[in-house]
Amino acid sequence: MACTISRRSIGMNPLRSARDWAIVAGIIASLFVEVQLLEWWQPSGVWPSVLIGGLIGMSPSLFSSLPVRGTVKATGSIAFLGRVDQAGFVLAGEGPEGRIYKSKGPRWLSWDSNRIVIGAIDGDEIPVTVPLHFYISLKRRQL
């Protein structure tokens, strides 16, 4: 059976936790240190390019973790859980929002917002929150 997800909204904040904000701040701070070292070693005025390049380079991983809220039909829940497993997510626990699935990889390789939350069945639909990259891959597989 095909797994379909109906999108309701896309969140605008990919940084879910203080840890995510600290990682971004650390990346920006390391860019500043890199710029200072470059300017000390060979003054050339390239610091705006380095900072802009670093921020542009970091943005795809942030945007791919934007939370997409939607619903899955209860009849397609088994197929949806199969896609969650295929994408490399494992059950990390239960929260007030529902069951939380996180990436199998090491924690330092993913944002805290890169998680899937599956709520309780509401009628014939199940509320879900998935990262944008997972939503896009589901939509591609439906075609």
Contact 112, 20 (CB under 8 A): yes
Q: Where are the domains of the chain?
A: 5-141
pLDDT, mean of residues 74-80: 86
d(CA 33, CA 50): 11
Residues 6+ apart with CB under 8 A from 11: 66, 67, 68, 69
Nearest to 64 by CA among 118, 4, 99, 15: 15
Task: Report pLDDT digits (tens) over 108-141.
Answer: 767 777 889 999 888 888 999 898 888 888 888 7
Q: What pLDDT was estimated at residue 41?
A: 80
Q: What pLDDT was estimated at residue 1?
A: 46
d(CA 89, CA 91): 7
Q: What is the pTM of this model?
A: 0.71
